[in-house]
Amino acid sequence: MGLVSDVGAVERALVAYYEREAGDRAERPLDLQRVAARTRFISQLARHRPRMLEVGIGPGRDSVTFVARGIRVVGIDLSLEHARRARATGAEAIVATGREVDVLALR
């Protein structure tokens, strides 16, 4: 399996896909195992004043729960529509790739 030679083309294709899927993705029910894992994760964070970076925040289906529990969420997503929906959950969301963001500056 070789490396992708045109990362920009792949990212543009992903942006187009996620922009088309944003509404459907936001409305899909979450898998029960995912919800249980998220609940365990939140309980482990409860002792701290946590903040988290979510790469690929999507429409904020997980961030809404994190924010409700007092966790500061900063998300990165390729899709402007996903970022808009994630912001509506109370998360901070940046439209960018993981390659473009200086994560240390997000403190």
| pLDDT tens figures, 15-28 | 888 888 877 877 88
Residue-level pLDDT at 56? 92
Residue 30 pLDDT greater than 80, yes or no: yes
φ/ψ of residue 78, rounded to 5: -75, -25
Q: How many residues does the chain have?
A: 107
Indicate left, alpha or beta for 2 from its phi (over 0: left) and psi (-120 to 50: alpha). Answer: beta
Considering only CA atoms, which of 34, 41, 32, 33 is closest in space to residue 58? Answer: 34
Local confidence band at 2 (pLDDT 50, 70, 90 cut-offs)? low
The average pLDDT across 26-35 equals: 87
Residue 91 pLDDT greater than 80, yes or no: yes
User: What pTM does this model have?
Assistant: 0.76
Residue-level pLDDT at 59? 93
Residue type for 58, please?
Answer: G
- Please measure the distance between the N-terminal and C-terminal CA atoms of the chain and give it in whole angstroms: 36
Minimum mean pLDDT range among 3-7, 14-18, 74-78, 90-94: 3-7
Which residues are 92's β-sheet partners?
Answer: 74
Buried b (16+ CB within 10 A) or exposed e, 71-93: bebbbbbbbebbbebbbebebbb
